């Protein structure tokens, strides 16, 4: 570890936090038979529907091809519907999908917030948000 810079160590800490957070989310979401990626897709559709597969991919920071199989599964499970309007296919939640995300979203949001609230003061949370926003903006060109 002697050769690692402070920046490398900070990056490693962020990656470990994300891994731990994702693992805990995965355990929580198992109860409702969703993966974190499916949860994220349903949450994005909930907030932005109707939207195209391309728009959803942008919100999820994925390629259209990588979400195609997931959407097929969500449609098969009855959580989303895809509607063709001439050349445009849009995605929306079904009533079942809407009921699920309205139940799970507040619980997941509370859980994720608690990870920060347990470790950081309000002031530290604000400071972290500002720093992460700055890092995110500087990385957008990569």
| pLDDT per residue as tens digits for the range 112-123 | 999 999 999 999
User: In terms of Cα–Cα distance, which of 131, 140, 141 is closest to 13?
Assistant: 131
Q: Where are the domains of the chain?
A: 1-31, 36-106
Q: For 13-48, give the DSSP string.
A: HHHHHHHHHHHHHHHHHHTTT--HHHHHHHHHHHHH
**C-alpha separations of 47 from 56, 95, 97, 105 in Å:** 11, 14, 12, 11
- Rg, C-alpha atoms of the chain: 18
Which of the four pLDDT bands, split at 50, 70 and 90, describes residue 1? low
Instruction: Beginning with the edge strand found earlier in the chain, give each strand of the sheet holding 80-85 in spatial order.
Output: 51-52, 88-93, 80-85
Q: Is the pLDDT of residue 141 over 80?
A: no
The pLDDT tens digits for 53-103 are: 999 998 898 888 888 889 999 999 999 999 988 888 899 999 999 999 999
- CA–CA dist 138, 90 (Å, integer): 32
The third-level CATH classification (topology) of the domain covering 36-106 is: Arc Repressor Mutant, subunit A (1.10.10)
pTM, whole model, 2 decimals?
Answer: 0.82
């Amino acid at each position: 570890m002697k050769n690692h810079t402070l920046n490398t160590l900070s990056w490693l800490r962020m990656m470990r936090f994300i891994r731990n957070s994702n693992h805990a989310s995965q355990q929580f979401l198992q109860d409702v038979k969703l993966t974190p990626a499916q949860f994220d897709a349903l949450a994005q559709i909930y907030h932005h529907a109707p939207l195209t597969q391309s728009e959803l991919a942008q919100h999820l920071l994925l390629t259209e091809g990588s979400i195609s199989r997931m959407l097929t599964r969500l449609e098969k499970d009855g959580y989303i519907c895809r509607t063709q309007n001439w050349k445009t296919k849009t995605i929306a939640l079904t009533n079942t999908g809407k009921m699920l995300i309205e139940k799970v979203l507040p619980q997941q949001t509370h859980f994720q917030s608690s990870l920060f609230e347990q470790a950081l003061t309000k002031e530290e949370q604000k400071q972290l948000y500002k720093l992460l926003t700055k890092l995110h903006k500087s990385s957008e060109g990569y």
